C-alpha cells in the first residue's frame, strides 16, 4: 500500500482491515477553473462542492468582500493559502487580523470575514449547516444517510473554549512528518508543501474504510486514480477512473475506493487534503498534528 519511506506506512491503519469490500458511491469533481460558480456577485465568485459531512466553499474575492455566518451550527475553517491575502475575522466579540498563508478556526454562532485583498479564500463548513449544504453543485450524490460513513460527531471543545485561532502555514518540513496537519472540532486539514511531479514508480494506492477524502488542488495539475472493488452484484461495478484535474479543483473520494493522486506539473503543485471529522490514525502520530495542544483528541473506543 505505502512505500517504506512514506510516513503513512507507520499508521495504525496502514495494514488493518480485510480490504476494500463493497465500496459505495460516486466520486465528485469540482473544476473551478472551468465550471460556473454557484454564486456570483460584484465582489466575489464562489463554488461549492460537498461530501457527506462537509462543504468546500472556494471564493475569488475583491477587497472588502464580506462573508457572514449568523447561525453557524459548529466550528468552521478559513484557509488563506495566498501569501498576499489577508482578512479580518470577527466572532463572539473578538476581532483578529488574519494574514495570508494561514489557517483559522472560527467558532460557532455569529461571525464575519472581511477580505482585505483581492485573491482567493477557502471556507470549510459542515453539512449540518443546511444553507451552505444546499448550495453544493454535487448534491445529487448525497441523497441521505451514507451506509459507510458514521454520523458526524464533533471532537472535544478546544482548550480554553471556542475562540478565533489562527495558525501560520509557514512550518518547516520535518523528517517523518506527513505534510502540515491542523485539526479543530469538525475538520482535519493537511496542507502539503509545494512539490514537483511525483515518481510514478512510488505511488501510494490505499483506501479508507469509513470516511471520505477531499483533495483540493490549489496549484499545478493532478492525476487522480480511483478503483472500485468488485462485489457480487455486478450492477454496482464501476470503471476505474484516471482523471486529470487542473487547479483550482476538488476531488471527493468515497470510502473503500482504492486511490492515489500524482502531482504532475513540472512548475509546481499544491494539494490540501480535507477530512471531516478529524482522522484518528493521523491524530495518534506523535508530532503530526501541529495544533494538538489546542484541540484534544476524541476519546478512544474501548478495546
pLDDT in tens, 97-149: 999 999 999 999 999 999 999 999 999 999 999 999 999 999 999 999 998 99
* Strand segments (E) across the chain: 28-31, 39-40, 44-50, 54-61, 66-72, 76-80, 87-91, 94-98, 102-106, 109-115, 119-126, 165-168, 180-183, 188-191, 213-219, 222-227, 241-245, 249-253, 258-263, 270-275
Q: Is this structure's pTM higher than 0.75?
A: yes
Domains (range + CATH), the chain: 7-283 (2.60.120.10)
Q: Whole-angstrom Cα distance, residue 49 to residue 56?
A: 5
Kindly tell me if the per-residue pLDDT of 21 is higher than 60: no
Q: Whole-angstrom Cα distance, residue 90 to residue 112?
A: 5
Q: Quick one: pLDDT at residue 228?
A: 92
3-state secondary structure 78-132: EEECCCCCCEEEEECCEEEEECCCEEEEECCEEEEEEECCCEEEEEEEECCCHHH
- Pairing mode, strands 180-183 and 76-80: unpaired
Kindly tell me if the per-residue pLDDT of 211 is higher than 70: yes
Q: Quick one: pLDDT at residue 14?
A: 56
Residue in this structure with the C-alpha cell 470549510, named with its chain if needed: 124
Peptide bond into 70 cis (omega under 30): no
Amino acid at each position: 500500500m505505502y512505500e517504506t519511506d512514506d510516513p503513512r506506512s507507520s499508521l495504525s491503519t496502514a495494514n488493518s482491515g480485510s480490504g476494500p469490500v463493497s465500496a459505495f458511491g460516486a466520486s465528485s469533481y469540482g473544476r473551478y477553473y472551468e465550471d460556473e460558480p454557484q454564486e456570483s456577485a460584484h465582489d466575489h465568485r464562489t463554488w461549492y462542492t460537498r461530501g457527506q459531512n462537509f462543504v468546500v466553499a472556494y471564493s475569488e474575492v475583491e477587497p472588502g468582500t464580506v462573508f457572514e455566518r449568523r447561525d453557524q451550527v459548529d466550528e468552521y475553517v478559513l484557509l488563506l493559502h495566498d501569501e498576499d491575502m489577508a482578512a479580518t475575522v470577527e466572532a463572539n466579540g473578538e476581532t483578529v487580523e488574519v494574514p495570508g498563508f494561514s489557517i483559522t478556526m472560527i467558532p460557532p454562532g455569529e461571525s464575519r470575514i472581511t477580505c482585505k485583498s483581492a485573491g482567493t479564500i477557502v471556507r470549510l463548513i459542515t453539512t449540518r449547516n443546511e444553507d451552505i449544504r444546499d448550495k453544493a453543485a454535487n448534491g445529487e450524490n448525497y441523497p441521505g444517510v451514507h451506509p459507510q460513513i458514521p454520523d458526524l460527531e464533533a471532537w472535544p471543545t478546544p482548550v480554553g473554549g471556542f475562540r478565533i485561532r489562527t495558525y501560520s502555514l509557514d512550518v518547516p518540513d520535518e523528517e517523518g512528518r506527513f505534510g502540515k496537519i491542523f485539526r479543530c472540532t469538525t475538520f482535519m486539514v493537511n496542507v502539503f508543501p509545494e512539490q514537483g511531479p511525483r515518481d510514478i514508480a512510488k505511488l501510494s494506492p490505499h483506501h479508507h474504510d469509513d470516511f471520505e477524502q477531499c483533495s483540493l488542488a490549489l496549484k499545478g495539475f493532478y492525476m487522480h486514480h480511483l478503483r472500485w472493488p468488485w462485489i457480487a452484484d455486478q450492477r454496482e461495478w464501476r470503471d476505474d477512473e484516471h482523471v486529470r484535474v487542473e487547479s483550482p479543483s476538488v476531488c471527493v473520494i468515497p470510502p473503500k475506493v482504492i486511490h492515489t493522486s500524482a502531482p504532475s506539473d513540472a512548475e509546481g503543485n499544491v494539494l490540501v487534503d480535507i477530512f471531516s471529522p478529524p482522522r484518528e490514525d493521523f491524530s495518534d502520530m506523535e508530532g503530526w498534528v501541529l495544533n494538538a495542544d489546542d484541540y484534544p483528541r476524541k476519546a478512544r473506543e474501548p478495546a
